């Protein structure tokens, strides 16, 4: 089944909550998805579900409209509501980790998913949540997507002490890089999630240096977003850009294809109540999307 290109400004969606209309019919638009691209979103859906069935109703309409391939989710608090959402989404499958405010995936049921598991080797205090990996077979290649949610907060300084938040995020990056280097050399790896820190920090306070200082092996595809206008950052409340997507060099050629894109999705623009309505029912984070065009 082919994916359609979605222009959300063409849709008026209805649910049983709020003012009955979820999205407005503004002139602003963005496109997500194409038949020939692998389309992936990372999305922290804060304290899911923030407003119980109302949140489910919103998300059902939004996700049905996005028609991407994979959505990596963070802060999924309720098993029952999550599986209720899946049951309401036609053509979607998914699963989540156990525990409170865990990690999850939604993916198109037509996709070939070869594995979905928590990475026990990274069950570590510094990572805060055990990363969740989806192995996907796409156009003759195996793609390994690793979903993360690092420790939040801190004072902006990396202190080499056990409980320091920045230190934990720095160590999480080191542990994750070592795991990828040891287990997925020459593999297509996508590392994504809510990393709770900024790519554009100075070197002395940048927890991501171990990746950034290895540009031949790793690339944050959202680096230009991080260094661009704050209007496009994923966490407007601070504002800061906290949700990232990193790829290994096996995917560099695909990302450099002219049909590959990365963007922060301004979903709040399509709510009648704007950011306040979106934040009230869905999340304080915007989703970040990557479209990869595989050659040829």
Question: Which tokens hold the place of 209?
Answer: 């240096």
- Which DSSP symbol is given to 270? G
Residue-level pLDDT at 31: 60
Q: Which of 92-96, 97-101, 240-244 has the lowest mean pLDDT?
A: 97-101
**Residue 119 banded pLDDT, cuts 50, 70, 90:** very high
Q: How far apart are CA 198 and CA 222, in angstroms?
A: 11
CATH of 35-293, one of 3.40.190.10, 3.60.10.10, 3.30.1050.10, 3.30.390.50: 3.60.10.10
Please list, in sequence order, all residues whose beta carbon lies within 8 angstroms of the beta carbon of residue 243, skipping any fewer than 6 positions away.
Answer: 42, 43, 44, 192, 193, 194, 195, 222, 234, 235, 285, 286, 287, 288
Q: In which residue are the tokens 């109540």 written?
A: 273
> Could you write out the DSSP letters of every residue in 148-206?
EE------S----STT-HHHHHHHHHHHHHHHHHHH-TTSEEEEEEE--S-TTS-GGG-
Please list, in sequence order, all residues whose beta carbon lies within 8 angstroms of the beta carbon of residue 99, skipping any fewer than 6 positions away.
Answer: none
**Residue 296 banded pLDDT, cuts 50, 70, 90:** low
**Residue pLDDT, tens place only, 145-180:** 999 999 999 989 999 899 999 999 999 999 999 999
Spell out the domain ranges in the chain.
35-293
What average pLDDT does range 19-33 have in this prediction? 41
* Predicted TM-score (pTM) of this structure: 0.91
SS3 at position 282: coil
What average pLDDT does range 273-291 have in this prediction? 97
**Residue pLDDT, tens place only, 74-97:** 999 999 999 999 999 999 999 999
**Residue pLDDT, tens place only, 257-281:** 999 999 999 999 989 999 999 999 9
Q: How far apart are CA 246 and CA 55, in angstroms?
A: 29
- Cβ count near 185 (within 10 Å): 11
Q: How far apart are CA 278 and CA 282, in angstroms?
A: 5
**Residue pLDDT, tens place only, 9-22:** 333 333 333 333 33
Run of H or E including 82: helix 79-88
């Amino acid at each position: 089944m082919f994916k359609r290109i979605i222009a959300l400004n063409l849709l008026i969606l209805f649910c049983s909550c709020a003012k009955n209309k979820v999205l407005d019919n503004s002139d602003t638009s963005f496109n997500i998805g194409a038949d020939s691209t692998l389309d992936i979103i990372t999305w922290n859906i804060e304290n899911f579900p923030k407003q119980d069935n109302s949140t489910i109703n919103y998300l059902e309409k939004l996700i049905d409209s996005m028609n991407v391939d994979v959505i990596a989710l963070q802060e999924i608090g309720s098993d029952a509501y999550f599986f209720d959402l899946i049951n309401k989404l036609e053509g979607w499958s998914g699963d989540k980790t156990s525990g409170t405010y865990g990690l999850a995936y939604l993916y198109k049921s037509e996709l070939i998913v070869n594995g979905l598991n928590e990475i026990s080797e990274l069950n570590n205090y510094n990572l805060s949540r055990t990363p969740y990996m989806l192995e996907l077979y796409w156009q003759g290649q195996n793609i390994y997507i690793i979903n993360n949610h690092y420790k939040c907060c801190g004072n902006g300084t990396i202190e080499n002490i056990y409980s320091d938040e920045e230190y934990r995020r720095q160590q999480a990056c080191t542990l994750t890089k070592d795991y990828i280097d040891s287990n997925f050399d020459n593999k297509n790896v996508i590392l994504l999630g809510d990393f709770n820190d900024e790519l554009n920090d100075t070197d002395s306070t940048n927890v991501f240096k171990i990746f950034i200082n290895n540009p031949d092996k790793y690339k944050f595809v959202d680096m230009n977003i991080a260094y661009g206008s704050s209007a496009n950052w994923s966490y407007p409340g601070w504002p800061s850009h906290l949700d990232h997507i990193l790829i290994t060099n096996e995917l560099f050629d695909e990302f450099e294809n002219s049909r590959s894109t990365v963007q922060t999705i301004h979903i709040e623009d399509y709510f009648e109540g704007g950011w306040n309505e979106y934040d009230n029912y869905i999340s304080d984070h915007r989703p970040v999307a990557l479209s990869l065009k595989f050659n040829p």
